[in-house]
Amino acid sequence: MEDKVLMKGNEAIAEAAIRGGCRAFFGYPITPQNEIPEYMSVRMPEVGGVFIQSESEVAAINMVYGAGGTGVRAMTSSSSPGISLKQEGISYICGAEIPCVIVNMVRSGPGLGGIQPAQCDYFQAVKGGGHGDYKMLVYGPNSVQECMDLMYNAFDKAFEYRIPVMILGDGMLGQIMEPVTLPPMKDMSKDIRPDWATDGTRFGKQHRVINSLYIQPDELEAVNHKLFAKYDLMAEKETMCEEYLCEDAEIVLTAYGTVARIVKSAVDMLREQGHKVGMIRPITLFPFPTANYEKIANMSNVKEIMSIELSMGQMIEDVKLSVNGKKPVKFYGRCGGNVMTAEDIVAEVLKEEK
């Protein structure tokens, strides 16, 4: 039997990052993700890594820029208002193509908002967030184990594509405790830096520059196209999606992250009552699993799709774009830090069936 450990989502992310080769963490306290920097402050020195509690989120993301630019596996974590502060740095990181990982344990907003779980940063995460044309690889895990699994390989993806990877969780996922299987430590003993990294070596190579400034319009346009070619490749190779009982479903519910867990329970309850209901859950929020939604929209048994979110309706826009008018797309959401129950969802679906 595999060894299982009981861990909070936040702790699992921190441990998975270490095991996935992270050797530098820069962060600033904000609820509800404080377990990540706290865990890192203890764990990072044990593996010979760097931990700094920075003076601000702005400084933290720029420390990630510096360390990541030298080819080191560096990350930061925060929650909504803190992620807003990091947007400047994230834009520069995307422009300069620096691999790194950013965790957002989303809380409700806007403004200072509240500290309870929400999914109101979906737009910010998948549409860019800061200035300029850019995207990140965005994961929306739904369990502590999935946090661990996605985080464990996040740096490999970040370095493969030279992009930031964002783990988009929420306050609930960060705080919930579940049994997890720990992956083995990745071997980081050989300090091999990529051929673009500004590792400082002076002799035997051209000097390298990490930069996002392009004064010539043609040059910058080429950079924009290069970035988007990368995103197209990601869409082809990295898109992840879960479909649950959709084959004969008349109503397909869609949700991501922890909400998808509640939706799954609702689907089971509805199935027990004889209703043909299924669920589709994007695991990568960018690239969005458009093809899966297209397929569902084209199924003759499917009458309607309903997006269920902890927001006023954000992911629903991508769902509608994917469904492309083929089927009606309804919405049910709670916000302000309120979380719907499975019974609430069942009631919403039954309203549709009338």
Which residues contact another protein by CB under 8 A?
23-24, 26, 50, 52, 54-56, 58-60, 62-70, 72, 74, 88-89, 92, 96, 198-203, 207-213
Give the H or E element holding residue 266.
Answer: helix 258-272
**List of residues 6+ apart from 266 with CB closer than 8 A:** 253, 277, 342, 343, 345, 346, 349
User: Which residue has 């990181």 as its token pair?
Assistant: 93
Q: Which is nearer to another protein, 16 or 44 (CB)?
A: 44
**Please, are residues 292 and 301 in contact by the beta-carbon 8 Å criterion?**
no
Q: How far is residue 349's CA from residue 354's CA, in Å, rounded to a whole number?
A: 9
Q: How far is the CB of 75 from another protein (least distance, A)?
A: 11
Q: Residue 85: which H helix or E strand, with range?
A: helix 80-95
Closer CB to another protein, 206 or 300, in the complex: 206
Distance from C-alpha of 51 to C-alpha of 334, rounded to nearest angstrom = 37
Residue 25 or 231 with smaller CB distance to another protein: 25
Q: How far is the CB of 202 from another protein (least distance, A)?
A: 6
Q: Which is nearer to another protein, 88 or 317 (CB)?
A: 88
Integer CA distances (angstroms), 129 to 83, 91, 166, 182, in order:
9, 8, 12, 32
Q: Output the smallest distance, CB 27 to another protein, in A.
A: 12
Closest approach, Cβ 53 to another protein, in A, equals 10
Task: Select 199 or 317, whichever has its Cβ closest to another protein.
Answer: 199
Rounded distance between C-alpha atoms, residue 117 and residue 122, angstroms: 13
Which residue number, 56 or 273, has a Cβ lying nearer to another protein? Answer: 56
Is 74 strand, coil or helix? Answer: strand
Residue closer to another protein by CB (options 211, 273) is 211
Nearer to another protein, 1 or 213 (CB): 213
Distance, CA of 68 to CA of 137 (rounded, Å): 16
Task: Name the residue with tokens 């979110």.
Answer: 309
Q: How far is the CB of 45 from another protein (least distance, A)?
A: 12
Helix (H, G, I), strand (E, B) or coil at 278: strand
Largest CA distance in the chain: 74
From 64, 132, 151, select the one nearest 99 (Cα to Cα).
64
Shortest spacing between CB 224 and another protein, in angstroms: 18
- Least Cβ distance, residue 138 to another protein (angstroms): 22
Q: Least distance in Å: CB of 72 to another protein? A: 4
Cα(153)–Cα(42) distance, integer angstroms? 22
